[in-house]
């Protein structure tokens, strides 16, 4: 064989080999590209599923917060309504005069006064209570009972003695009444039992 034929053969073999390598490289590039596309699609699907879950969780959380806000508003409205009822009761107590007021004070003293108590009345109440009322209760209960000439800074009465004081202020009595009756008041307002 001559040299030219050998060179041509080497060139053809090299060209065939180069074409094979290029084809193999293209095939490898296509496989790599296909794997990358599949990975991208898989990640996109996972990301989309996570985004949907996150959106659903966010919606559920916002709905729960909205429901909580509604319950808070309803509770505030009920509390305001109940507070209005007790404020009305206090206004009515403050407006009592004459026999109605004297009857209320007598009942409070008959129930709570003990021997040695001093009746301390609020400024407005001190104008409505006289020593004769206190002496009448003391005589009826057979106890020592005195009326303080100094008014308290409250509405209603306090009974003071050496052992303990009793809060018979209108605010104190209404707080006690409220703690005893608030549940029933809520049921009435909501149209439940006792309505």
**pTM greater than 0.75:** no
Could you tell me the CA-to-CA distances from 14 to 4, 28, 65, 73, 147 in Å, in that order? Answer: 15, 20, 74, 86, 127
Q: Which of 95, 110, 136 is the last residue of a domain?
A: 95
Residues 14, 50 within the same domain = yes
Q: Is the pLDDT of residue 193 over 70?
A: no
Same domain, yes or no: 83 and 2: yes
End-to-end CA distance of the chain: 121
Of 67, 95, 123, at which residue does a domain stop? Answer: 95
In a domain, 103, yes or no: yes
Domain count, the chain: 2
Higher pLDDT, 142 or 83: 142
Q: Give the pLDDT score at 178.
A: 82
45/114 same-domain check: no
- In this structure, the answer to whether residues 89 and 107 fall within a common structural domain is no
Contact indicator for 133, 102 with CB cutoff of 8 Å = yes
Sign for the pseudo-dihedral over CA of 113, 119, 120, 123: positive
What percent of the chain has a predicted confidence (pLDDT) above 70? Answer: 95
pLDDT (tens digit, 9 = 90+) per residue, 152-168? 888 889 999 888 889 98
- Check whether residue 178 and residue 135 sit in a common domain: yes
**Which is more confidently placed, 145 or 14?**
145
Report whether 159 contacts 169 (CB < 8 A): no
Q: How far apart are CA 123 and CA 76, in angstroms?
A: 33
Q: Is the dihedral of CA 12, 17, 21, 23 positive or negative?
A: positive
Lowest mean pLDDT among 36-45, 117-126, 130-139, 172-181: 172-181
Residues 12 and 53 placed together within one structural domain of the fold? yes
Does the pLDDT of residue 195 top 60, yes or no?
Answer: no
pLDDT at residue 1 in the model: 60
Examine the fold and report which residue of 95, 116, 148 is the final residue of a domain before the chain moves on.
Answer: 95
Strands (E) across the chain are located at: 117-121, 145-147, 156-160, 166-169
Do residue 55 and residue 140 come from a single domain?
Answer: no
Structural domain including 124 reads 98-189
């Amino acid at each position: 064989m001559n040299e030219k034929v050998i060179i041509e053969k080497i060139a053809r073999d090299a060209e065939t080999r180069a074409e094979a390598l290029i084809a193999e490289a293209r095939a490898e590039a296509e496989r790599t590209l296909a794997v990358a596309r599949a990975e991208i699609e898989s990640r996109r699907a996972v990301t989309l599923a996570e985004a949907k879950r996150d959106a659903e969780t966010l919606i559920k959380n916002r709905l729960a917060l909205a429901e909580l806000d509604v319950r808070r508003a309803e509770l505030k409205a009920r509390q305001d309504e109940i507070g209005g009822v007790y404020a009305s009761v206090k206004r009515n107590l403050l407006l009592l005069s004459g026999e109605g007021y004297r009857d209320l004070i007598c009942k409070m003293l008959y129930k709570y006064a003990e021997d040695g108590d001093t009746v301390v009345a609020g400024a407005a109440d001190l104008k409505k209570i006289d020593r004769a009322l206190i002496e009448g209760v003391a005589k009826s209960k057979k106890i020592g009972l005195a009326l303080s000439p100094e008014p308290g800074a409250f509405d209603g009465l306090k009974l003071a003695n050496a052992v303990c004081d009793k809060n018979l202020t209108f605010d104190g009595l209404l707080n006690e009444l409220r703690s005893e009756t608030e549940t029933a008041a809520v049921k009435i307002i909501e149209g439940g039992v006792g309505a």
